[in-house]
Structure 1
Amino acid sequence: YLNGSDVSTAYCWTTDVTLPNRPTSRPFICPEGISLTYEEVVEGNINANSLFTIKYSITINSSFQVVSSPEISHANLHACRQIYGDCTPLLGATPGLISQSPASMGFLDANTRLSTFEEDFSLDAGEWSLVAHIQFNTRKNGGGTILWDVAVGRFLTSEIRRAYFSTSTEIFIAVAAGFVFIYYIWLGILTIRYRSKSIMKSHPLWLSLVNVLGAVIF
């Protein structure tokens, strides 16, 4: 995640966008009043290359004078393969290694100061670090604007799950096995019904069905 940080902890970093060199702080644990959490957590492993839903929320209390309009100027998901090392929102998309969702924006609820985002995402097979990323701007003491970046991570494993009966051959085998099973049940019923050995040897219905069906199935 961020420089080996605790994956479940939200981290912040700030940029003074009013200064020419745009100085950026090092990541730090977000202060009280800023909270970024996952609302809907995927349990267990996910299916590779299949869409799954990620829901995350940002809360910014009124002590922060947010001047963005809408308040959340950027929100999206980033994912990096764990073998890649640190995963930050600053890394660009790289096919097979780093993925990201389209950016969106959102308003804070006037009462709860909460903004929630829900996205459908998919990953190739492997172990991934997933990072939810938020940006907003606040007023700087003495004038100017501070850009806030907020991120929280989690680990996910994406695996290829083979679907049963996924080919026409497998479907044919399953259907054939079903017919064989039914045939044996039917054979057993007839055997019980026509217990007399002489009837079983000479009964035309018995001989015809057993011989014809047996030949077709086997």
Structure 2
Amino acid sequence: MNFVLRAQTLMLVIISWTRLARAEGQCYLDDTESECALCWITLPGQVPILRRCPEGLILAQWITPPPRKLVENQQYQIEYSLAVSSEVSSYIIPASGGRGSLREVWHANLHSCVRSRGACTPFVSDNPGLSTHSRSTASNLSTTSTESFETATFSEQLALPEESYVIIAHLRVTSSMNIFDNTTYTACSASSPEQCAVYDIAIGKGADVEKKPINISYENAYTYLAAVVTVLLVVTSSFVWALYTNKLDRCFKAIFNDTVKHLCQFLLSCASTTAYTISFRTVVLKDERLMDFVPLGYFCTIVGWISLLVSFVFLAKHTYDDRNKQILRTKAVLAEEKSRYLQHSNKVKARRRLEILVSSCQGMLFRDIPFIATQFYVLSVVSSSSTAALFSLMASGISLGLKSQDMLRLPKAYKNCMKASQNLRSADISSSSALRSSMRSRLSMRSRKWMKPNNRSPSERKEKQPWESRKKRTSPSVPISETTEPSKGARDQNGCTGKTCTMAHALCYES
């Protein structure tokens, strides 16, 4: 059915073109500045015939014509009217036009045809890239101060994309008389409109739609320039100070360490996800051509924010591990497990590296790649690009480039993590074995010491108790606190002479 209708429309356009040469005046078809109106009369059982509307009987004119220069996507108020003489208005038959209520002018709207695609007639269909139709309206004729004419006035909003157009006002009425030869059709009525003469009346104007001009504010430009220069001065001064104080290595380590790198990637992902959400709300949800894309857009937006939350959890855990690094080192040193601490530190670093790489890979798979694919589709469908969509596409592309390198490092990081875990288990086994050997040796030495025969008297053995000798730090026979400088040749009970010998014996007894 649609094919047959299109074929009939195409035939009407061809027939109209073949009869243009016989028309007495072609008005806007030849000159878009012309003020006259054209009438296509369709008699019962015949094809439309193009004529110039008789000025004394039918008068169509612009009240507020479209400007010669328009700005793209900007609303313009357009007004036009149709005046019919009282001699003709009595033959006009009201019709519904498919809207239920009967109106004398039962169809009126604006057609905006691309000038380079051919002539603009009332029979050109509404097709993107060829012609754009406004919403159809209807009205009755009313008597004005000029009693010889009855008039109907119409007002509409017009907004067009950038192109060169021919804009026509199309009005349609039904009459029981042929105004060109005064033939009447008695069978014509509101119930039998196919037995009437149909008049398609059109007036036209040429219009060029241009791009919206960009207003540049130099005050804002100077502000941005001052901000950029200030940042550059601060950064340059910092590097010069670091070079002067021999701290340049520390600066580079602080700037290019893993924490700063992953923080920058997280901020870039935040910007990309936010821009994608804004573009989805401002572009996708407001464009009828993207209605089928809305469920996929909602899914990508929700998954993107969940992926961003996962990245934040990994980043927070990474930062928390760095803060507790010094505490773990102190506890390990106090516990005299230096080798185990080193193995534990290596395992923590390897596991943290693996977790960060996994976070980057999930962000690339669930956020960057879907964002880029969907934004390319949206920009290919929508003619006017959105700033948020372009920014989201750019940020997602940069993030994808950075994270693709992390995905290549993932297998190696997994191997390092497994190796560090194995080394830590080996260190735990070695530490346990060493601890058990040390305990056995200490117990053996203590048992031999207490089981060794002692021929001294009980009073001497009491003085030789280990917990008392360690506290007093004196010899059982000669206390250090009572030792004085002996005279030459004097000997103690151990056969030693002099202070040095006495101190040596005391240390020997103590140990």
Would you call these one fold, judging by a TM-score over 0.5?
A: yes
- Which residue in the other structure is 1:46 paired with? 70
- Which residue in the other structure is 2:122 paired with? 89
Matched, 1:172 2:198: no
Q: Could you say which structure has the higher strand fraction?
A: 1
Counterparts of 1:93-112 in structure 2, within 5 Å, are 93-111=126-144, 112=146
Report the 3-state secondary structure (helix = DSSP H, G, I; strand = E; otherwise coil) of the residue aligned with 2:27.
Answer: coil
Q: TM-score, normalised by structure 2?
A: 0.32
Please give the alpha-carbon distance, in whole angstroms, between the structure 1 residues aligned to 2:219 and 2:136: 43
- Which residue in the other structure is 1:162 paired with? 213
Residue 220 of structure 2 aligns to which amino acid in structure 1? F
- Which residue in the other structure is 2:42 paired with? 15
Report the 3-state secondary structure (helix = DSSP H, G, I; strand = E; otherwise coil) of the residue aligned with 1:173.
Answer: helix
Matched, 1:138 2:175: yes
Matched, 1:127 2:164: yes
**Alpha carbons 2:122, 2:200 under 8 Å: kept:** no
Alignment CA distance shift 1:155-1:175 (3 Å): same
Please give the alpha-carbon distance, in whole angstroms, between the structure 1 residues aligned to 2:222 and 2:142: 55
Which one of 140, 148, 152 corresponds to residue 115 of structure 1? 152
Q: CA RMSD in A?
A: 2.7
Matched, 1:24 2:50: no
Q: What are the Cα deviations for residues 63-119 of structure 1, in whole angstroms up to 9, with x where unaligned? A: 111111321010000011110111111111111221010110011113451111010
Q: Could you say which structure has the higher helix fraction?
A: 2
Structure 1 residue 172, shift from structure 2 partner = 3.4
**Alpha carbons 1:129, 1:155 under 8 Å: kept:** yes
**Alpha carbons 2:70, 2:209 under 8 Å: kept:** yes
Residue 149 of structure 1 aligns to which amino acid in structure 2? D
Please give the alpha-carbon distance, in whole angstroms, between the structure 2 residues aligned to 1:155 and 1:128: 6
Unaligned runs of 5+ in 2: 1-15, 21-25, 29-33, 95-101, 178-183, 189-195, 227-232, 235-511
**Alpha carbons 1:14, 1:25 under 8 Å: kept:** yes
Structure 1 residue 142, shift from structure 2 partner = 4.1
Identity of matched residues, %: 24
Alignment CA distance shift 1:66-1:158 (3 Å): same
Residue 47 of structure 2 aligns to which amino acid in structure 1? T
- Which residue in the other structure is 2:488 paired with? none
Residue 11 of structure 1 aligns to which amino acid in structure 2? L
Alignment CA distance shift 1:33-1:176 (3 Å): same
Residue 167 of structure 2 aligns to which amino acid in structure 1? L
Structure 1 residue 56, shift from structure 2 partner = 0.5
Report the 3-state secondary structure (helix = DSSP H, G, I; strand = E; otherwise coil) of the residue aligned with 1:172.
Answer: helix
- Which residue in the other structure is 1:152 paired with? 203
Q: What are the Cα deviations for residues 167-198 of structure 1, in whole angstroms up to 9, with x where unaligned? A: xxx77315468x9xxxxxxxxxxxxxxxxxxx
Structure 1 residue 59, shift from structure 2 partner = 0.2
Please give the alpha-carbon distance, in whole angstroms, between the structure 2 residues aligned to 1:90 and 1:82: 15
Matched, 1:66 2:103: no
Structure 1 residue 158, shift from structure 2 partner = 0.3
Question: Relative contact order (alpha carbons < 8 A, sep ≥ 6): 1 or 2 greater?
Answer: 1
Alignment CA distance shift 1:176-1:132 (3 Å): same
Alignment CA distance shift 1:81-1:174 (3 Å): farther
Please give the alpha-carbon distance, in whole angstroms, between the structure 2 residues aligned to 1:131 and 1:42: 10
Q: What are the Cα deviations for residues 28-69 of structure 1, in whole angstroms up to 9, with x where unaligned? A: 110121011110123441111111111100001111111113
Please give the alpha-carbon distance, in whole angstroms, between the structure 1 residues aligned to 2:213 and 2:40: 42
- Which residue in the other structure is 2:109 paired with? 76
Q: TM-score, normalised by structure 1?
A: 0.71
Please give the alpha-carbon distance, in whole angstroms, between the structure 2 residues aligned to 1:154 and 1:90: 17
Please give the alpha-carbon distance, in whole angstroms, between the structure 2 residues aligned to 1:108 and 1:94: 31
Alignment CA distance shift 1:142-1:132 (3 Å): closer
Unaligned runs of 5+ in 1: 180-214
Alignment CA distance shift 1:127-1:60 (3 Å): same
- Which residue in the other structure is 2:480 paired with? none
Report the 3-state secondary structure (helix = DSSP H, G, I; strand = E; otherwise coil) of the residue aligned with 1:27.
Answer: strand
Residue 39 of structure 1 aligns to which amino acid in structure 2? I
Structure 1 residue 6, shift from structure 2 partner = 2.3
Please give the alpha-carbon distance, in whole angstroms, between the structure 1 residues aligned to 2:210 and 2:185: 52
Residue 95 of structure 1 aligns to which amino acid in structure 2? P
Q: Which runs of 4+ in 1 moved over 4 A?
A: 174-177
